[in-house]
Amino acid sequence: MTREQYILATQQNNLPRTENAQLYPVGIYGWRKRCLYFFVLLLLVTMIVNLAMTIWILKVMNFTVDSPLVLQSDRNVTVNARNHMGQLTGQLTIGADAVEAQCKRFEVRASEDGRVLFSADEDEITIGAEKLKVTGTEGAVFGHSVETPHIRAEPSQDLRLESPTRSLIMEAPRGVQVSAAAGDFKATCRKELHLQSTEGEIFLNAETIRLGNLPTGSFSSSSPSSSSSRQTVYELCVCPSGKLYLSPAGVGSTCQSSSSICLWS
């Protein structure tokens, strides 16, 4: 037997023995146990009621994972944005008659690359789409000037630039080009059409140049044979005011003889 085993055996023999030791029960009994069961049952009922109310609210408000969020109102829906001081910085109002946005800058971006399709602020409005299409029967109406590098009609459609009550002015520092690749080009007006070049020339290049509805002057020739023959050749004359008229062609110029038509210009 080792020293440690001897000391341990001696200490165990010297311990007093209690033959009639009392045993005390451990736990909750009596009214405390009934109160604990009551609170556990009340907590369980509260949890069930909360779960049922949550499911009911989700069902009534249409809060689902697969469906979009729907905000409905009998009058309008208003979304406000405020800064850290509580001041209103932006507002979006959706009403029965209009959709109004009040902010410093309004932007519409593409979902794919995020480029700006439409933006508006106090200074300018920018349209970043590749094509601006106006489908109204009256077209696009501009109250002031319009600056654009290209105006083109849809395929198989006519392009009309019209000013019903005022003048139509097209200006460019390096020239204005108007072309019709597969059709006719027409310029009509109610009163007068002016083609003016201050420093250059007006060049008409075509296989046939026709000036219709020009007034015709009268010319009487001294030769009876020429007067009896049918007149088929005319001379183009110009009045001092710039008005053009036709005069029956003769051996020499007949514009002076028919110049009385310039008095009506």
Q: Does 40 have pLDDT greater than 90? A: yes
Region for residue 45 given its phi and psi (left: phi exceeds 0; alpha: psi -120 to 50; beta: otherwise): alpha
Alpha-carbon distance of 96 to 75, in angstroms, equals 7
Please tell me the least confidently modeled range out of 103-117, 124-138, 189-203.
189-203
Question: Is residue 247 assigned to a domain?
Answer: yes
Kindly state whether residues 45 and 80 are assigned to the same domain: no
Strands 88-94 and 99-102: antiparallel
Long-range contacts of 106-112 (CB under 8 A, 24+ apart): none
Helices (H), the chain: 3-14, 31-60, 224-228
Alpha-carbon distance of 77 to 239, in angstroms, equals 71
Residue type at 197?
S
Residue 51 is part of which domain span? 29-63
Please tell me the least confidently modeled range out of 69-78, 174-183, 248-257.
174-183
**pLDDT value at position 48?**
96
Q: Kindly report the CA angle at 170 between 191 and 129, in degrees rounded to 5? A: 130
Last residue of a domain, one of 106, 123, 140: 123
Alpha-carbon distance of 50 to 30, in angstroms, equals 31
Kindly state whether residues 80 and 118 are assigned to the same domain: yes
Last residue of a domain, one of 41, 63, 85: 63
Question: Is residue 119 assigned to a domain?
Answer: yes
- Average predicted confidence (pLDDT) for the chain: 80
Count CB-CB contacts under 10 A for residue 254: 21
**pLDDT value at position 26?**
65
Alpha-carbon distance of 237 to 242, in angstroms, equals 9
Tens-place pLDDT, residues 5-24: 666 666 555 555 555 556 66
Question: Is residue 133 assigned to a domain?
Answer: no
Tens-place pLDDT, residues 116-167: 999 999 888 888 888 888 888 777 787 777 788 888 877 777 778 877 777 7
**Domain total for the chain?**
3
**pLDDT value at position 13?**
57
Residue type at 119?
S
Residue ranges with strand state E in 49-181: 77-82, 88-94, 99-102, 106-109, 116-120, 125-127
Tens-place pLDDT, residues 214-230: 888 776 555 444 444 56
Question: Is residue 249 assigned to a domain?
Answer: yes
Cβ contact 250:219 at 8 Å: yes
**pLDDT value at position 72?**
84
Residue type at 202?
I
Question: Is residue 42 assigned to a domain?
Answer: yes
3-state SS class at 243: coil
| Tokens encoding 101 | 């946005």
